[in-house]
Amino acid sequence: MIVPVIMAGGIGTRLWPLSRQLNPKQFISLIDPAESMLQTTLRRLEGLDASPPLLICNDSHRFLAAEQVRAIGLQGAQILLEPEGKNTAPAITLAAIKAIDTYDDPLLLILAADHDIPDVQAFHKAVESGVRLAESEYLVTFGIVPTHPETGYGYIEKGPQLEIGGFSVSQFVEKPLIDTAKKYIDSGKFLWNSGMFLFKASSYLNEVKALRPDIFECCQRALEVGTVDLDFVRVDPKSFSACPAESIDYAIMERTPKAAVVPLDAGWNDIGSWSALWEVSAKDKERNVLKGDVIVEGALQNYIYSQSRLVAAVGVQDLIIVETKDAVLVCNKNNVQDVKKVVERINEYKRSEHISHREVYRPWGMYDSIGSGPRYQVKHICVKPGGKLSVQMHHHRAEHWIVVSGTAKVSNGEKTYLVTENQSTYIPIGQTHSLENPGIIPLELIEVQSGAYLGEDDIVRFDDIYGRAE
C-alpha cells in the first residue's frame, strides 16, 4: 500500500505579496484558478493505488488545510500538525512513525504541496517504477530530467542502472554556478533534485535510527505524548522543540548506501518564484501573463496580477507586477530571488504585510479589514452556515455589528437573540459574547470596533468549537 505524505509547510516568501505567513503559496490558486496548489497535488493522486493522504502542516494552517481537503470531497485524510518547522527529515520521520502505527509498514510517497506536474500520466509511471525499488528496500528519490542549465536547483548524479529499474545515486550536488550547471547538462548524467521520495516506512526509519538517532528519538517521543483531535494529529511541542532541524537530503539521502533515483520527465516545476510562475502560465501574443483587471500597452514578457483594482502597464518589459489589497510588488524577473529580502525588511520594520492579507481566513469564515484610524477599525465579516465565533471578551474595545445579509445568532452577556438583515447590535467593552450563523446562507455583517487598543491579541476565549479556547 502507498500512503501519500503531503508536505504542506513553508511560507513561500519569494511569492510575496500573494504568499503570506498565515496563507502561504500552497493554499493559494496560483495556476488553476479553481484550485489551490495543495488541492491540485491531492487530485494528482487519483488513479494511484493509494490510501487517503497524510498531510503535514504548521499548526496555524490547520483549518486552511482541513477546509481545502473537505472542499474537494476527499475522505479519510489525516493532518499532522507541527508546532514549529524543523525541516523535512523530522517531518518525514513523524509521518513514517505514524504510518507504521496506522498501516503496519506501507510505502510512503513523499510529495510537496506546491509543485506543478502537468503530465500526470508520466508522474504515475515514475511512481510505479519507484515502487519496485522501494519494495526492495531502496530509498527512492525522483530526479527531474533537466531542460536547461539551472542554478536554482540541486542536482543528482546518476550512478549505474539498476536491474529492477532506476539508477543508483552517485552523488547529490548543491545548487551550482551557471558554468557548472552547463557541464552537468552536457554530460547527461545529472538530474534536478525534486525533493520527492518513495520508500518503505521501515526502510526509512531504519536509516534514521542508524544515521540520526537523535531525530528519531525526538520524533518518537513527540508522537507518544501527542494527542489526536478529530482529523488532526498533534505532536508534543516540548518534545519536538528539542529535535534538530535538518533536511532529509543532508540527514539521510546523502549518507545512505540505499539511495536510488528514478528519472521523471513530466513538465515539473516547483513554483518557487514569480519567474517560475510566469514560465508555466498561459501567455498572450506579447508573452505577457495577465491576471485580474489588467490593461497593457506596448508591454512584453511581464507577469501582471491584479487582485482588487485596475492595473495599467505601458511600455514595460520583463517585470513582475503584483497588486493586492494592501501591497504592490514591482520587480524585474531577473531579481525575483530578492523578494525574500523585501519580506525580511517588512519584518524588521515591525509591519504586518508579510504575516497576513487584509482578508484573513478563520475556521468559521473570513474577515476583511476595510478601514481603520485612531481608535476605530471597520471589518467586513462573512460567517459560513453553521460557523460560530468563539465565546470571548475584549478588555479594550467595544463592537457594533450591522447585519448585511443572512441571520446572526448573538449571545451578549446573559441574553441570546437573532439579528437579521438591516438590524444591528452593540457589544460593550468587557462583555462576554459570541456570534454564529444558524442559517443555510452565508452571514455577512459590518463590524465597527472602537477603543484604545484594537489588536487581534485582545481576545480572551472561553469556549470554542474549533479547539482554540485558552
Inter-residue contact 271 to 25 (CB < 8 Å)? yes
Proportion of the chain above pLDDT 90, given as a percent: 86
- Tell me, which fold does domain 359-463 have in CATH? Jelly Rolls (2.60.120)
What distance in Å separates the CA atoms of residue 217 and residue 94, rounded to the nearest whole number?
A: 10
Query: How much is the pLDDT for 356?
Result: 87
Kind plus residue range of the DSSP H or E element containing 92: helix 88-103
Domain 2-264 part of CATH 3.90.550.10: yes
Considering only CA atoms, give the Rg of the chain. 24
Average pLDDT over residues 123-144: 96
Average pLDDT over residues 340-344: 96
Q: What is the largest CA-CA distance in the chain?
A: 76
Inter-residue contact 39 to 94 (CB < 8 Å)? no
What distance in Å separates the CA atoms of residue 78 and residue 435, rounded to the nearest whole number?
A: 29
Average pLDDT over residues 336-352: 94
Does 101 have pLDDT greater than 80?
yes
**Domain ranges across the chain:** 2-264, 274-345, 359-463
Query: How much is the pLDDT for 308?
Result: 93
Whole-number mean pLDDT of the chain?
Answer: 94
Inter-residue contact 390 to 462 (CB < 8 Å)? yes
Average pLDDT over residues 140-151: 94
Phi, psi (degrees; rounded to nearest 5) at 82: -90, 125
Does 341 have pLDDT greater than 90?
yes
CA atoms within 13 A on the CB side of 12: 29
Query: How much is the pLDDT for 42?
Result: 96
- Grid cell at residue 437: 450563523
- Grid cell at residue 276: 517560475
Does 468 have pLDDT greater than 80?
no
b/e for 346-379, b at 16 or more Cβ within 10 A?
beeeeeebbebbbbbbbbbbbbebeeeeeeebbb
Inter-residue contact 453 to 372 (CB < 8 Å)? no
CA atoms within 13 A on the CB side of 54: 27
Question: What is the DSSP code string of 290-332?
Answer: EESSEEEES-BS-EEEESSS-EEEES-BSEEEEE-SS-EEEEE
pLDDT in tens, 75-91: 889 999 999 989 999 99
Does 470 have pLDDT greater than 80?
no
Per 3-state DSSP, the chain is made up of helix, strand and coil in percentages (nearest 5) of 25, 35, 40
Inter-residue contact 407 to 422 (CB < 8 Å)? no
pLDDT in tens, 54-81: 999 998 898 899 999 999 999 889 999 9
Average pLDDT over residues 349-354: 92
Does 11 have pLDDT greater than 90?
no
Does 231 have pLDDT greater than 80?
no
pLDDT in tens, 372-430: 899 999 999 999 999 999 999 999 999 999 999 999 999 999 999 999 999 999 999 99
Average pLDDT over residues 315-322: 98
Helical packing angle, 201-211 and 213-224, nearest 10°: 120
Average pLDDT over residues 191-196: 96
Query: How much is the pLDDT for 360?
Result: 86
Phi, psi (degrees; rounded to nearest 5) at 448: -110, 110
Query: How much is the pLDDT for 249?
Result: 95
Place of cell 509498514: 105
Q: Which residue type does 346 have?
A: I
Query: How much is the pLDDT for 194?
Result: 95
Question: What is the DSSP code string of 234-273?
Answer: EPPHHHHHTSPP--HIIIIITT-TTEEEEEE-S--B---S
Does 179 have pLDDT greater than 90?
yes
Tell which residue, 139, 137, 83, has the closest CA to residue 110: 139
